[in-house]
A and B are shown apart, each in its own frame.
Chain A
């Protein structure tokens, strides 16, 4: 890699992060459907098999449970598998292996067995895809003790978070915002990254900030855009990128809400019984006396993901977020 900042896509950030992890540790292996010769349907693993060989980049048969189950066995053998689930909606055949096995080996064995496995899941909508290619299943996994769940939102985090997830001795479900794969940002690998399991304030309001908006993954960009527009309207918003979905790192959220008194949580996933519902509960508990208004949620609807021509309406967008800002300020 050349020194100095380079402007690359989020997808390329992941690719370079994977490459760095494979160079750093010979036990890191990449496995999944079409990840080798093809480089993955999104080209995230492009070139890795060519450079690291078929022993370290495994084109697997088509079976998600097989990918995760075999990865569990490889982890027991001392490997650090990085599994690709091709699309969010296809993680469910592997759900049993992830929830009943991968998440539990450490607890079951009381630490005698470790599961340093990363499961990469491109997730979320906005790409005009057919059914099962636009899901946001992160809450299922955040609800499962024994797993760690993270989501990157930009090139820099993509590059570092994938390496940190691979270095983690616990299983990490790594959600990648597929609609943001092609967005570019400067990456300077000389700048040290923050820890993996921390949330970050990505837009700080002035002292006059009127609300906090929390998002993660694909919605971070949308929320930042909304904050820019809100500023033009004279409303300062603080924006927090959650980054880690399990464990939650809510100290930055609490700090911000204590300043602003208002919280809006944004996610593509259906809102009922969701991760951000937990966020609302925790903020209500910790920041009760600071809140000037109820916590509002802007989410996908409690419906199956609709046909692609309807997804613009389904997905939270700039206007729905600004509408929530208006509503939260009306209290």
Chain B
């Protein structure tokens, strides 16, 4: 069993000393607080709270005001903030374009990220080049940060491929569609980073980050991932985007306690961040990755956000949630607060926003053009690269099937 390297005197993100490694992390309340509240209304209010509550890390309010936090102060230049805003605008535009393409029949399906831009851009930009991300299927914003071109995501949703980007050079693994399955892959990969001796140095150390949602937290595989990561001190950040809905199942169908508090039970820090605040997400994720890099992983982050669109284009949220809820979350929009802040502080003028709007239009046009011109794979694709060392029987089945196809095209049968 690998021994734990965590220094006993280290502080958690709340600044409170961490006494025992087995209960490491932010001390978020008394036993009484963790047990209660008890009324259903209180439970739901507690689970849903994002802009209230002392546990929530926030650096930019929905109104666009910078606020300070004792552990996560972030110095950021106008150029850096512009860059984060640009990321979010382009990713939102790309996401909306993909939704339209699905409605026009050009994509078979799309899983929209609308509303989760800050969570994904903040986390994605906090990653170092040598880090590895394990996404679920909605991480289009993280993909963007890792240099995966949006066109590369389309193959999955147009039925051309099952993930065509290079997971190694991008540090962004393929989408995982079986909910929660990627938690163990991330943990195993992080165990490998530790076995390789790649942690312990702040600058060059490696870390892994696993993206999943509130629904995935109910999967047994996520439980095992938390256990494995804790037992092996794996340098993995579990980044949960709590977007409040797992298709039609609201959060109270998944949990009785706020999700970040579960980390305590596994013996590592859990922290809740305003997932619609790109600065807070960036600061917290950067901290968490550094913790992992230096041997203090794992860490759980719960980014509280909201899935403003449907689960996928096949879903109809009007059947299970009220429009009021969406209106409420629109007031906490992740892009708008940054725009307001940039304008109010004089960090960006009309020319910046105009140029960005043009860039977004160009991106949308490029994606549209690409989508409609994607080549459809031939029947030989069925048999392609199932194995590293393919058995002869597969080649025979392929040849048979291609010959069958050819029998229709080799002139008339007179």
Confirm or deny: A307 has a beta carbon within 8 angstroms of a beta carbon on chain B: no
Binds B, one of A104-112, A263-271, A318-326: A104-112
Residue of B whose beta carbon sits closest to that of A110: B385
Identify A100's interface contact among B173, B178, B227, CB under 8 A: B178
Confirm or deny: A145 has a beta carbon within 8 angstroms of a beta carbon on chain B: yes
A84 to chain B, nearest CB (A): 16
Confirm or deny: A170 has a beta carbon within 8 angstroms of a beta carbon on chain B: yes
**Is there an interface contact between A76 and B173, defined as CB atoms closer than 8 Å?**
yes
Confirm or deny: B164 has a beta carbon within 8 angstroms of a beta carbon on chain A: yes
Residue of A whose beta carbon sits closest to that of B188: A73
Confirm or deny: A55 has a beta carbon within 8 angstroms of a beta carbon on chain B: yes
Residues of A42-92 contacting chain B, CB below 8 A: 54-55, 59-61, 63, 65-66, 68-79
Residue of A whose beta carbon sits closest to that of B387: A170
Residues of B164-196 contacting chain A, CB below 8 A: 164, 166-168, 173-174, 176, 178, 181, 183-193, 195-196
Confirm or deny: B323 has a beta carbon within 8 angstroms of a beta carbon on chain A: no
CA gap between A113 and B228 in the complex, in Å: 23
Within 8 Å CB of B227, what residues of A?
61, 63, 66
B412 to chain A, nearest CB (A): 31
**Is there an interface contact between A59 and B188, defined as CB atoms closer than 8 Å?**
no
Number of interface residues of A (CB under 8 A): 46
Confirm or deny: B231 has a beta carbon within 8 angstroms of a beta carbon on chain A: yes
CA gap between A248 and B173 in the complex, in Å: 32
**Is there an interface contact between A70 and B187, defined as CB atoms closer than 8 Å?**
yes
Within 8 Å CB of A71, what residues of B?
188
Within 8 Å CB of A114, what residues of B?
388
User: Given A111-B385, A148-B387: A73 and B166 within 8 A (CB)?
Assistant: no
Residue of B whose beta carbon sits closest to that of A108: B162
CA gap between A96 and B220 in the complex, in Å: 11
Confirm or deny: B207 has a beta carbon within 8 angstroms of a beta carbon on chain A: no
Within 8 Å CB of B393, what residues of A?
247-248
Residue of A whose beta carbon sits closest to that of B177: A100
User: Given A63-B227, A74-B191: A146 and B387 within 8 A (CB)?
Assistant: yes
Confirm or deny: A169 has a beta carbon within 8 angstroms of a beta carbon on chain B: yes
* 19 cross-chain CB contacts under 8 A: A54-B1, A65-B221, A70-B184, A72-B185, A73-B187, A73-B191, A74-B191, A76-B188, A77-B193, A100-B181, A101-B178, A101-B185, A107-B384, A107-B386, A108-B162, A111-B385, A145-B386, A169-B388, A170-B389
* B residues at A contact (CB < 8 Å): 1-2, 134, 161-164, 166-168, 173-174, 176, 178, 181, 183-193, 195-196, 220-221, 224-225, 227-228, 231, 384-389, 391-394
* A residues at B contact (CB < 8 Å): 29, 54-55, 59-61, 63, 65-66, 68-79, 93, 96-97, 100-101, 105-114, 116, 145-146, 148, 168-170, 197, 247-248
Besides A63-B227, A101-B176, 7 more A-B contacts (Cβ < 8 Å) are: A65-B224, A73-B192, A74-B195, A97-B221, A107-B162, A113-B174, A148-B391
